[in-house]
Structure 1
Amino acid sequence: MHIVLVEPEIPANTGNIARTCAVTGARLHLVGKLGFSTEDKYLKRAGLDYWHLLDITYYDSLEQFLESHSTARLHLATTRGGRWYTNVPYGPDDFLVFGKETQGLPRELLAARPEQCIRIPMRPGVRSLNLSNAVAIVLYEALRQQGFAGMV
Protein backbone atom coordinates (compact mmCIF):
# COMPACT_ATOMS: atom_id res chain seq x y z
CA MET A 1 0.00 0.00 0.00
CA HIS A 2 1.00 3.59 -0.59
CA ILE A 3 0.11 6.63 1.52
CA VAL A 4 0.33 9.96 -0.29
CA LEU A 5 0.29 13.27 1.58
CA VAL A 6 -0.15 16.33 -0.61
CA GLU A 7 1.40 19.41 1.03
CA PRO A 8 1.02 18.31 4.66
CA GLU A 9 1.26 21.24 7.07
CA ILE A 10 1.53 19.84 10.59
CA PRO A 11 4.71 17.96 11.51
CA ALA A 12 3.12 15.86 14.25
CA ASN A 13 0.49 14.54 11.82
CA THR A 14 3.12 13.55 9.29
CA GLY A 15 5.20 11.95 12.05
CA ASN A 16 2.20 9.92 13.23
CA ILE A 17 1.47 8.87 9.65
CA ALA A 18 5.11 7.90 9.16
CA ARG A 19 4.87 5.69 12.23
CA THR A 20 1.68 4.10 10.89
CA CYS A 21 3.44 3.45 7.59
CA ALA A 22 6.40 1.89 9.39
CA VAL A 23 4.26 -0.55 11.38
CA THR A 24 2.14 -1.53 8.38
CA GLY A 25 4.81 -1.58 5.67
CA ALA A 26 3.02 1.09 3.64
CA ARG A 27 5.19 3.39 1.52
CA LEU A 28 4.99 7.09 2.22
CA HIS A 29 4.92 9.69 -0.56
CA LEU A 30 5.28 13.37 0.39
CA VAL A 31 4.13 15.70 -2.37
CA GLY A 32 4.76 19.39 -2.91
CA LYS A 33 5.72 22.07 -0.43
CA LEU A 34 5.78 20.75 3.11
CA GLY A 35 4.62 23.04 5.91
CA PHE A 36 7.66 22.10 8.00
CA SER A 37 11.26 20.93 7.77
CA THR A 38 11.89 17.19 7.69
CA GLU A 39 14.33 17.93 10.52
CA ASP A 40 11.47 19.26 12.69
CA LYS A 41 11.67 17.93 16.27
CA TYR A 42 7.89 17.38 16.43
CA LEU A 43 7.98 15.35 13.23
CA LYS A 44 10.81 13.22 14.58
CA ARG A 45 9.18 12.81 18.00
CA ALA A 46 5.86 11.68 16.53
CA GLY A 47 7.60 9.10 14.33
CA LEU A 48 9.61 7.86 17.33
CA ASP A 49 12.40 5.52 16.37
CA TYR A 50 10.67 4.13 13.28
CA TRP A 51 12.24 6.41 10.67
CA HIS A 52 14.76 3.79 9.56
CA LEU A 53 11.84 1.45 8.68
CA LEU A 54 10.25 3.87 6.22
CA ASP A 55 10.28 3.93 2.47
CA ILE A 56 9.70 7.64 1.69
CA THR A 57 9.61 9.31 -1.71
CA TYR A 58 9.46 13.08 -2.18
CA TYR A 59 7.90 14.90 -5.15
CA ASP A 60 8.19 18.58 -5.98
CA SER A 61 4.57 18.85 -7.10
CA LEU A 62 1.30 17.01 -7.47
CA GLU A 63 1.85 17.02 -11.22
CA GLN A 64 5.20 15.24 -10.79
CA PHE A 65 3.58 12.63 -8.54
CA LEU A 66 0.71 12.03 -11.00
CA GLU A 67 3.12 11.73 -13.95
CA SER A 68 5.30 9.29 -12.01
CA HIS A 69 2.29 7.09 -11.21
CA SER A 70 0.07 7.62 -14.26
CA THR A 71 -1.22 4.03 -14.25
CA ALA A 72 -1.63 3.72 -10.47
CA ARG A 73 -4.98 3.17 -8.83
CA LEU A 74 -5.65 6.20 -6.67
CA HIS A 75 -8.19 6.65 -3.88
CA LEU A 76 -8.68 10.35 -3.14
CA ALA A 77 -9.82 10.99 0.43
CA THR A 78 -12.15 13.96 0.69
CA THR A 79 -15.11 15.09 2.77
CA ARG A 80 -16.82 15.62 -0.61
CA GLY A 81 -16.43 12.02 -1.77
CA GLY A 82 -19.48 10.16 -2.97
CA ARG A 83 -18.50 6.71 -1.69
CA TRP A 84 -17.66 5.56 1.79
CA TYR A 85 -14.13 4.25 2.14
CA THR A 86 -15.57 0.89 3.26
CA ASN A 87 -17.41 0.41 -0.05
CA VAL A 88 -14.27 0.37 -2.18
CA PRO A 89 -12.11 -2.67 -2.98
CA TYR A 90 -8.42 -2.02 -2.31
CA GLY A 91 -5.42 -3.75 -3.81
CA PRO A 92 -1.90 -4.08 -2.41
CA ASP A 93 -0.44 -1.53 -4.85
CA ASP A 94 -3.15 1.12 -4.44
CA PHE A 95 -2.38 4.71 -3.44
CA LEU A 96 -4.41 6.36 -0.67
CA VAL A 97 -4.15 10.10 -1.30
CA PHE A 98 -4.78 12.76 1.36
CA GLY A 99 -4.62 16.55 1.15
CA LYS A 100 -3.31 19.22 3.46
CA GLU A 101 -4.94 19.69 6.82
CA THR A 102 -6.48 23.11 6.15
CA GLN A 103 -7.80 22.62 2.61
CA GLY A 104 -7.76 18.96 1.63
CA LEU A 105 -6.96 17.94 -1.92
CA PRO A 106 -7.16 20.45 -4.79
CA ARG A 107 -10.73 20.82 -6.08
CA GLU A 108 -9.51 20.47 -9.67
CA LEU A 109 -8.09 17.03 -8.90
CA LEU A 110 -11.30 15.90 -7.22
CA ALA A 111 -13.46 17.25 -10.05
CA ALA A 112 -11.33 15.49 -12.67
CA ARG A 113 -11.51 12.12 -10.86
CA PRO A 114 -14.88 11.85 -9.05
CA GLU A 115 -14.92 8.05 -9.39
CA GLN A 116 -11.73 7.89 -7.30
CA CYS A 117 -13.08 9.96 -4.41
CA ILE A 118 -13.77 8.30 -1.08
CA ARG A 119 -14.92 9.66 2.26
CA ILE A 120 -15.13 8.69 5.90
CA PRO A 121 -18.68 9.17 7.19
CA MET A 122 -19.08 11.90 9.78
CA ARG A 123 -21.86 13.79 11.49
CA PRO A 124 -23.20 16.82 9.62
CA GLY A 125 -21.74 20.19 10.52
CA VAL A 126 -18.22 19.03 11.34
CA ARG A 127 -15.30 19.85 9.09
CA SER A 128 -13.11 16.74 9.14
CA LEU A 129 -11.13 14.24 11.14
CA ASN A 130 -7.50 14.73 12.07
CA LEU A 131 -5.32 13.80 9.09
CA SER A 132 -3.33 11.10 10.86
CA ASN A 133 -6.54 9.50 12.16
CA ALA A 134 -8.09 9.55 8.69
CA VAL A 135 -5.02 7.90 7.17
CA ALA A 136 -5.04 5.16 9.81
CA ILE A 137 -8.77 4.48 9.36
CA VAL A 138 -8.59 4.10 5.58
CA LEU A 139 -5.26 2.25 5.54
CA TYR A 140 -6.41 -0.35 8.06
CA GLU A 141 -9.61 -0.96 6.09
CA ALA A 142 -7.52 -1.53 2.96
CA LEU A 143 -5.21 -3.88 4.86
CA ARG A 144 -8.19 -5.71 6.43
CA GLN A 145 -9.59 -6.38 2.97
CA GLN A 146 -6.27 -7.94 2.03
CA GLY A 147 -6.20 -10.18 5.09
CA PHE A 148 -3.48 -8.10 6.78
CA ALA A 149 -0.91 -9.75 4.50
CA GLY A 150 2.58 -9.83 6.00
CA MET A 151 1.36 -8.69 9.42
CA VAL A 152 1.11 -10.63 12.67
Structure 2
Amino acid sequence: MNHKLKIALYEPDIPQNTAAIIRTCACLGAKLEIIEPCGFLPSDKRFKRVVMDYMDWDKIDLYQSSEHFFNAKKNQRIVLMTTKASISYTKFKFDKNDTILFGRESAGVPEKVHKLINDRLKIPMNENTRSLNIASSVAIVLAESLRQSKLI
Protein backbone atom coordinates (compact mmCIF):
# COMPACT_ATOMS: atom_id res chain seq x y z
CA MET A 1 0.00 0.00 0.00
CA ASN A 2 1.22 3.49 -0.85
CA HIS A 3 1.42 5.55 2.34
CA LYS A 4 1.14 9.21 1.55
CA LEU A 5 -0.50 11.97 3.51
CA LYS A 6 -3.26 13.64 1.59
CA ILE A 7 -4.39 17.26 1.62
CA ALA A 8 -7.96 17.82 0.47
CA LEU A 9 -9.42 21.20 -0.46
CA TYR A 10 -13.18 21.69 -0.24
CA GLU A 11 -14.39 23.79 -3.19
CA PRO A 12 -11.40 26.18 -3.22
CA ASP A 13 -12.23 29.64 -4.49
CA ILE A 14 -8.96 31.59 -4.57
CA PRO A 15 -6.65 30.51 -7.42
CA GLN A 16 -3.41 31.80 -5.89
CA ASN A 17 -4.00 29.83 -2.68
CA THR A 18 -4.71 26.60 -4.54
CA ALA A 19 -1.62 27.10 -6.68
CA ALA A 20 0.55 27.70 -3.59
CA ILE A 21 -0.88 24.53 -2.00
CA ILE A 22 -0.07 22.54 -5.15
CA ARG A 23 3.53 23.74 -4.84
CA THR A 24 3.66 22.87 -1.12
CA CYS A 25 2.30 19.37 -1.74
CA ALA A 26 4.72 18.81 -4.63
CA CYS A 27 7.71 19.93 -2.57
CA LEU A 28 6.75 17.94 0.55
CA GLY A 29 5.47 14.82 -1.20
CA ALA A 30 1.80 14.98 -0.20
CA LYS A 31 -1.08 13.98 -2.43
CA LEU A 32 -3.53 16.78 -3.24
CA GLU A 33 -7.25 16.15 -3.59
CA ILE A 34 -9.69 18.81 -4.73
CA ILE A 35 -13.43 18.65 -4.13
CA GLU A 36 -15.23 20.52 -6.88
CA PRO A 37 -16.62 22.88 -7.89
CA CYS A 38 -13.72 25.32 -7.76
CA GLY A 39 -14.29 29.05 -7.87
CA PHE A 40 -11.83 29.47 -10.75
CA LEU A 41 -10.52 27.78 -13.87
CA PRO A 42 -7.01 26.31 -14.25
CA SER A 43 -6.50 28.77 -17.11
CA ASP A 44 -6.78 31.71 -14.65
CA LYS A 45 -3.67 33.93 -14.93
CA ARG A 46 -3.42 34.27 -11.15
CA PHE A 47 -3.37 30.48 -10.78
CA LYS A 48 -0.76 29.96 -13.51
CA ARG A 49 1.51 32.68 -12.11
CA VAL A 50 1.78 31.00 -8.70
CA VAL A 51 1.69 27.31 -9.71
CA MET A 52 4.51 27.78 -12.26
CA ASP A 53 5.88 24.38 -13.30
CA TYR A 54 4.63 22.50 -10.22
CA MET A 55 1.28 21.60 -11.83
CA ASP A 56 0.93 17.88 -12.52
CA TRP A 57 -2.68 16.76 -12.98
CA ASP A 58 -1.55 13.13 -12.58
CA LYS A 59 -0.71 13.89 -8.94
CA ILE A 60 -4.02 15.57 -8.12
CA ASP A 61 -7.27 13.71 -7.51
CA LEU A 62 -10.43 15.61 -8.42
CA TYR A 63 -13.80 14.75 -6.90
CA GLN A 64 -16.96 16.01 -8.63
CA SER A 65 -18.66 16.67 -5.29
CA SER A 66 -18.35 16.16 -1.55
CA GLU A 67 -20.57 13.08 -1.91
CA HIS A 68 -18.05 11.50 -4.31
CA PHE A 69 -15.22 12.43 -1.94
CA PHE A 70 -16.85 10.93 1.16
CA ASN A 71 -17.89 7.78 -0.71
CA ALA A 72 -14.28 7.26 -1.82
CA LYS A 73 -13.03 7.87 1.74
CA LYS A 74 -15.58 5.79 3.67
CA ASN A 75 -12.89 3.50 5.17
CA GLN A 76 -10.28 6.20 5.71
CA ARG A 77 -9.73 8.79 8.41
CA ILE A 78 -10.47 12.37 7.44
CA VAL A 79 -9.21 15.18 9.67
CA LEU A 80 -10.94 18.54 9.29
CA MET A 81 -9.01 21.72 9.96
CA THR A 82 -11.43 24.38 11.17
CA THR A 83 -11.40 27.51 13.31
CA LYS A 84 -14.50 26.05 15.03
CA ALA A 85 -12.57 23.14 16.60
CA SER A 86 -11.43 23.04 20.21
CA ILE A 87 -8.45 20.65 19.80
CA SER A 88 -5.07 21.93 18.59
CA TYR A 89 -3.36 20.12 15.73
CA THR A 90 -0.29 19.83 18.01
CA LYS A 91 -2.28 17.66 20.46
CA PHE A 92 -3.35 15.21 17.74
CA LYS A 93 -1.60 12.05 16.53
CA PHE A 94 -1.55 12.09 12.74
CA ASP A 95 -1.26 8.89 10.75
CA LYS A 96 0.52 8.52 7.43
CA ASN A 97 -2.76 7.54 5.74
CA ASP A 98 -4.76 10.55 6.91
CA THR A 99 -6.58 12.91 4.61
CA ILE A 100 -6.44 16.43 6.04
CA LEU A 101 -9.39 18.47 4.79
CA PHE A 102 -9.36 22.26 4.54
CA GLY A 103 -12.52 24.26 3.88
CA ARG A 104 -13.30 26.89 1.32
CA GLU A 105 -11.49 30.16 1.96
CA SER A 106 -14.68 32.20 1.95
CA ALA A 107 -16.90 29.91 4.01
CA GLY A 108 -15.11 26.83 5.37
CA VAL A 109 -17.19 23.66 5.03
CA PRO A 110 -20.95 23.36 5.51
CA GLU A 111 -22.39 21.95 8.73
CA LYS A 112 -23.25 18.66 6.99
CA VAL A 113 -19.52 18.09 6.36
CA HIS A 114 -18.65 18.95 9.97
CA LYS A 115 -21.09 16.25 11.09
CA LEU A 116 -19.45 13.59 8.87
CA ILE A 117 -16.00 14.03 10.43
CA ASN A 118 -15.00 12.93 13.93
CA ASP A 119 -11.57 14.57 14.07
CA ARG A 120 -11.75 18.37 13.91
CA LEU A 121 -8.63 20.40 14.68
CA LYS A 122 -7.52 24.00 14.79
CA ILE A 123 -4.33 25.97 14.63
CA PRO A 124 -4.18 28.05 17.84
CA MET A 125 -3.96 31.77 17.09
CA ASN A 126 -3.74 35.01 19.00
CA GLU A 127 -7.00 36.44 20.24
CA ASN A 128 -8.77 38.95 18.02
CA THR A 129 -7.52 37.25 14.85
CA ARG A 130 -9.92 35.47 12.51
CA SER A 131 -7.89 33.00 10.47
CA LEU A 132 -4.62 32.26 8.74
CA ASN A 133 -4.30 32.12 4.97
CA ILE A 134 -5.22 28.60 3.85
CA ALA A 135 -1.89 28.06 2.08
CA SER A 136 -0.05 28.91 5.32
CA SER A 137 -2.38 26.64 7.28
CA VAL A 138 -1.74 23.73 4.92
CA ALA A 139 2.03 24.20 5.22
CA ILE A 140 1.90 24.32 9.03
CA VAL A 141 -0.28 21.25 9.47
CA LEU A 142 1.31 19.24 6.66
CA ALA A 143 4.79 19.77 8.12
CA GLU A 144 3.65 18.58 11.55
CA SER A 145 1.81 15.56 10.18
CA LEU A 146 4.83 14.58 8.07
CA ARG A 147 7.10 14.98 11.10
CA GLN A 148 4.86 12.81 13.26
CA SER A 149 4.52 10.17 10.56
CA LYS A 150 8.27 10.21 9.98
CA LEU A 151 7.67 10.78 6.28
CA ILE A 152 10.21 13.63 6.15
On whether the aligned pair clears a TM of 0.5, the verdict is: yes
Q: Distance in 2 between matches of 1:118 and 1:105?
A: 13
Confirm or deny that 1:116 pairs with 2:133.
no
Q: What SS does structure 2 have at the residue aligned with 1:126?
A: coil
Corresponding position of 1:65: 69
Q: Shift in Å at residue 46 of structure 1?
A: 1.1
2: CA distance, partners of 1:112 / 1:21: 25
User: Is contact 1:22-1:54 (8 Å) kept?
Assistant: no
Q: 1:66 to 1:137 in 2, by over 3 A?
A: same
2:14 matches 1:4: no
Count, aligned residues:
148
Contact preservation (8 Å) 1:27, 1:54: no
Look up the SS of the partner of 2:79 in the other structure: strand
- Give 2:135's aligned amino acid: S
The gaps in structure 1 that reach 5 residues or longer are: none
1:39 aligns with 2:43: yes
Distance 1:132 1:54 in 2: 21
Partner of 1:126: 129
- Taking only aligned residues, the RMSD between alpha carbons, in angstroms, comes to 1.5
Residues 55-93 of structure 1, C-alpha deviations (whole Å, 9 max, x = no match): 101111111100011111111000011210111111111
For 1:47-62, list aligned pairs within 5 A.
47-52=51-56, 55-62=59-66
Shift of residue 54, structure 1, vs aligned partner: 6.0
For the 8 Å contact 1:77–1:119, the answer to whether it is kept is yes
Identity of aligned residues (%): 39
The separation in 1 between residues aligned to 2:116 and 2:44, in whole angstroms, is 34
Greater shift after overlay, 103-112 or 86-95? 103-112
Greater CA drift, 62-71 or 37-46: 37-46
Map 1:3-22 → 2, pairs under 5 A: 3-22=7-26
Structure 2 residue runs without a partner (length 5+): none
Mark the CA change 1:69 to 1:95 in structure 2 (over 3 Å): closer, same or farther.
same
Which residue type is aligned with residue 109 of structure 2?
L
